[in-house]
Amino acid sequence: MQYTYAKRMQDVRASEIRELLKLTESPEIISFSGGLPSPDLFPVEDLKEVSLSVLENSGRTSLQYTTTEGFEPLRRWVAERMNTRLGTSFSADEILLTHGSQQAIDLTGKVFLDEGDVVLCESPTYLAALSAFRLFGCRFVEMPTDDDGMIPESLEEILRAEPRAKLIYTIPEFQNPTGRSWSLARKESLVRIATEHKVVVLEDNPYGELRFEGESLPSAATFDTIGNVLCLGTFSKIFCPGYRIGWIAGPREVIDKYVLVKQGTDLQCNTVGQYQIMEYLNTRDINQHIERIRADYRVKRDIMLETMDELFPDGVSYTRPQGGLFAWVTLPEHLDARKILVECLEEKVAFVPGGSFFPNGGHQNTMRINFSYATTEELREGIARIARVLRRNLG
Amino acid sequence: MQYTYAKRMQDVRASEIRELLKLTESPEIISFSGGLPSPDLFPVEDLKEVSLSVLENSGRTSLQYTTTEGFEPLRRWVAERMNTRLGTSFSADEILLTHGSQQAIDLTGKVFLDEGDVVLCESPTYLAALSAFRLFGCRFVEMPTDDDGMIPESLEEILRAEPRAKLIYTIPEFQNPTGRSWSLARKESLVRIATEHKVVVLEDNPYGELRFEGESLPSAATFDTIGNVLCLGTFSKIFCPGYRIGWIAGPREVIDKYVLVKQGTDLQCNTVGQYQIMEYLNTRDINQHIERIRADYRVKRDIMLETMDELFPDGVSYTRPQGGLFAWVTLPEHLDARKILVECLEEKVAFVPGGSFFPNGGHQNTMRINFSYATTEELREGIARIARVLRRNLG
């Protein structure tokens, strides 16, 4: 039959890129396209003991329904971790566990966005945040951004010009897709300006713990004086994404709204995962584990950059991320990264063309390279193959 | 600060009842209020072996991201199970795994409902489906329903009168909250009438496998000729709710839309749970397990009904469910079940007042009793306490 979908579905369509990238699932392709952690670092042996111990001690509760808010000891751990690492002052009651931080983005749309509202975001920004927000009928304004973050003067100008501005979405640490980070001064300006304009800031921070060098910076929430900064986090990058456990932190009043909405959305996060993560945190040293991840990704980042430095042709520039999972490559303007991808797939190597990360289009001469998932050998070989294609196109 | 939430949030508020029921978490209260399976039946020992085996054989994949659609072997199992048990003819590609069937309800709202659309539902119906749909700004029309399901004449009349009717939501097996089931003839009329009016039917079936007596009936989807019947299911009631794995089945074209929407909503279901459930299904006999659940709940249902028959005063009627988790009690019209609940809490026993299950209000003289979670001793004692309160109020 002819289905009458909701109007919001008009903007939802399978991307060409996604279809192309399905090809990268084949094992002979070296893929830098996903945002996947290295499975070599999953604590599989530890998790055997952890799983048994949870079933032994909490079989009846870990397999049962739990509260929408989430397992209290885990919320307490998250609050303490944020307070210690990021200088915030959240309590367990100000944390809602979510089905990955992706769900926290979606719930933010549900709680805050009406049709026609404006979301300010970095240019480029995280693709799946765009997909989530877009379903609530918002418009995106891409903020001029340099190596230190959004530019305060532009932010003020746009907030003055956009009365429907409702939300500023930002990833200030090792951003997806660029790998760039904000300075502390820019975080402060952001919150000051957002506060003047009574706009909510959503600080998404999935990669902050994966810093290879330099100093960790406090959260934008440390500058919050009126309760307009909400913070997202996740266990996906410091533990395992397969559990789908993330969180949102914010003022109790706002979190209470999210809880009500999450209840109708999916009742609660999976209980098994919440218990296993908590047992792991209680019996293992997560800092040591994260240090292993950092060390591994640091080596991979170095190999990637060395190979790019050696082989990428003139006219191609790229970021030098101090952490996270991604580097961002800018080609000469006349090159289309989608065409480069097609040629790269023939060479059995894949990346994501950067155009999709710009909500309002353009910038087809950019590409995102993930360096966490591939092995060091694959990184060397894969980057060399991309370099070959680029040289061919710039010859 | 003064938050400017989305307009849809105006209808979202914490229910008084929910606040009252928080009291029932205290261990000295016998609670018939939740929809919780009995934790005595969770296959804890089996799951120790299952967890180890998944980590041993699939540690790297079961802890990693997976596809939005879900683990292919599990989707295949679900399709085959439905086809065998319910007479449908779904393929694996027509199944999307969801974060419990609750998420499938929410995604249905996102895919189909515009503000002002009308959802037809049983009267009463599942509370959290109302919460999910309500966030998309729909109106509810409660369908006149008898012991065999919605009444076809009323259905036709209402579909003729409501051009904005978009969706019929129904739970035809051991309904939540009443425990009643539809006849096959009524399922056929439902689909015939919905087809004439090009309206989508959402058949929610979390309890169908928990039949204590009588014959299992085919799904409404067996009468589908144009692709307008979507079916929900879940592992929560036949396995463990703590995994949060359910599904939606429907025509490939529609499921593809759900996949796109789920991607922006939460990327995918937790991978760990999908692998563990599949390993359990591969190495254990789920039919034997379900038979144990059936046998246990049948005994509990019997004890509940015997105690009600013996002790409930005249003027109080109740359903005699042939399966599922719930019975539905109707008090004389002048009694308010919310007031009865307050008195019952003093006697340390809890249930859910039935008014909340009617989207358009009223019916405060009804109550939902869950019989799966309490032990047989608690059922005898708890029902006796409710009877005492009822006799006091009807004395």
Taking the C-alpha atoms of residue A6 and residue B365, their distance in angstroms, rounded to an integer, is: 37
DSSP 3-state of A273: helix
CB neighbour list of residue A234: distance below 8 Å, 6 or more residues apart: A100, A101, A206, A245, A246, A247
Between A13, A64, A198, which is nearest B36 by CB?
Answer: A64
Q: Smallest Cα–Cα separation from B227: which of B187, B184, B190, B191?
A: B191
Mark residue B362 as left, alpha or beta (left: phi above 0; alpha: psi -120 to 50; beta: remaining).
left
**Token reading at A1:** 């039959």
Between A14, A228, A241, which is nearest B65 by CB?
Answer: A241
Taking the C-alpha atoms of residue A307 and residue B160, their distance in angstroms, rounded to an integer, is: 68
CB contact B191 to A (< 8 Å): no
Its sign, for the CA torsion B336, B341, B347, B349, is positive
Strand partners, B330: B317, B366
Taking the C-alpha atoms of residue A294 and residue A216, their distance in angstroms, rounded to an integer, is: 13
A207-224 as b/e, with b when 16 or more CB fall inside 10 Å? bbbbbbeeeebebbbbbb
- CA-to-CA dists, residue A230 to A84, A111, B233, angstroms: 17, 12, 35
For residue A163, count other CB atoms closer than 10 A to its CB.
Answer: 8
Q: Smallest Cα–Cα separation from A357: which of A169, A141, A178, A166?
A: A178
Chain-centroid distance of CA A345 in Å reads: 25
pLDDT given at position A170: 98
User: pLDDT tens digits for A122-151?
Assistant: 999 999 999 999 999 999 999 999 999 999
User: In this complex, do B242 and A55 lie within 8 Å of one another by their Cβ atoms?
Assistant: no
User: pLDDT tens digits for B39-50?
Assistant: 999 999 999 999
DSSP 3-state of A19: helix
pLDDT given at position B156: 97
Q: Smallest Cα–Cα separation from B287: which of B47, B81, B73, B54?
A: B81
CB neighbour list of residue A364: distance below 8 Å, 6 or more residues apart: A336, A337, A338, A353, A354, A355
Nearest CA in chain B to A12: B260
A348 close to A271: Cβ distance less than 8 angstroms: no
pLDDT given at position B395: 78
Residue B30 binned pLDDT confidence (cut-offs 50, 70, 90): very high
Taking the C-alpha atoms of residue B358 and residue B337, their distance in angstroms, rounded to an integer, is: 14
B107 close to B258: Cβ distance less than 8 angstroms: yes
CB contact A264 to B (< 8 Å): yes
Chain A residue numbers touching B271 (CB-CB < 8 A): 241-244
Nearest CA in chain B to A53: B48
pLDDT given at position B236: 98
CB contact A237 to B (< 8 Å): no
Taking the C-alpha atoms of residue B185 and residue B172, their distance in angstroms, rounded to an integer, is: 12
User: pLDDT tens digits for A103-128?
Assistant: 999 999 999 999 999 999 999 999 99
Rg (CA), chain A: 21
**Token reading at B249:** 């089945």
Average pLDDT, stretch A243-255?
A: 98
Taking the C-alpha atoms of residue A75 and residue A65, their distance in angstroms, rounded to an integer, is: 17
pLDDT given at position A95: 98
User: pLDDT tens digits for A184-205?
Assistant: 999 999 999 999 999 999 999 9
Between B14, B44, B257, which is nearest A55 by CB?
Answer: B44
Specify the range with the lowest mean pLDDT, choosing from A8-17, A53-62, A198-207. A8-17
The amino acid sitting at B283 is T
What pTM, to 2 d.p., does this model score?
A: 0.97
Position B14 pLDDT exceeds 90 = no
N-term to C-term CA, chain A: 53
Chain A residue numbers touching B273 (CB-CB < 8 A): 270, 272-273
Nearest CA in chain B to A115: B6
pLDDT given at position A16: 67
pLDDT given at position B264: 93
Residues 149-168 of A with CB under 8 A from B: 166
Chain B residue numbers touching A243 (CB-CB < 8 A): 63, 270-272
What secondary structure does DSSP assign to B220-272, as a single string? GGGG-SSS-EEEEEESTTTT-GGG--EEEE--HHHHHHHHHHHHHHHSS--HH
CB contact B58 to A (< 8 Å): no
CB contact B65 to A (< 8 Å): yes
pLDDT given at position A120: 98
Q: Smallest Cα–Cα separation from B268: which of B54, B98, B100?
A: B98
**Token reading at A222:** 């440390």
Its sign, for the CA torsion A78, A81, A85, A89, is positive
pLDDT given at position B16: 67
User: In this complex, do A100 and B39 lie within 8 Å of one another by their Cβ atoms?
Assistant: no
Residues 211-230 of B with CB under 8 A from A: 226-228
Position B22 pLDDT exceeds 90 = no
CB contact B261 to A (< 8 Å): yes
A270 close to B244: Cβ distance less than 8 angstroms: yes
User: pLDDT tens digits for B329-339?
Assistant: 999 999 999 99
Specify the range with the lowest mean pLDDT, choosing from A2-16, A27-41, A77-91, A376-390. A2-16
User: pLDDT tens digits for B66-99?
Assistant: 999 999 999 999 999 999 999 999 999 999 999 9
Q: Using omega within 30 degrees of 0 as the cis cutoff, is the peptide bond preceding B124 cis?
A: yes
For residue A362, count other CB atoms closer than 10 A to its CB.
Answer: 12
Q: Between A and B, how many CB-CB pairs are < 8 A?
A: 238
Chain B residue numbers touching A257 (CB-CB < 8 A): 5, 9, 12
User: pLDDT tens digits for B178-194?
Assistant: 999 999 999 999 999 99
- Residue of A17, A138, A266 best to disrupt the B interface, most CBs of B under 10 A: A266
Strand partners, A202: A169, A230
User: In this complex, do B242 and A113 lie within 8 Å of one another by their Cβ atoms?
Assistant: no
Strand partners, B368: B328, B352
**Average of per-residue pLDDT values in chain B:** 96
Residues 121-150 of A with CB under 8 A from B: 128, 131-132, 134-136
Chain B residue numbers touching A134 (CB-CB < 8 A): 264
Please report where in the chains the tokens 């919440």 appear, as a residue: A274
**Token reading at B378:** 């608690």
For residue B163, count other CB atoms closer than 10 A to its CB.
Answer: 8
ipTM above 0.85, yes or no: yes
Bridge-based pairing of strands B366-370 and B352-353 is antiparallel
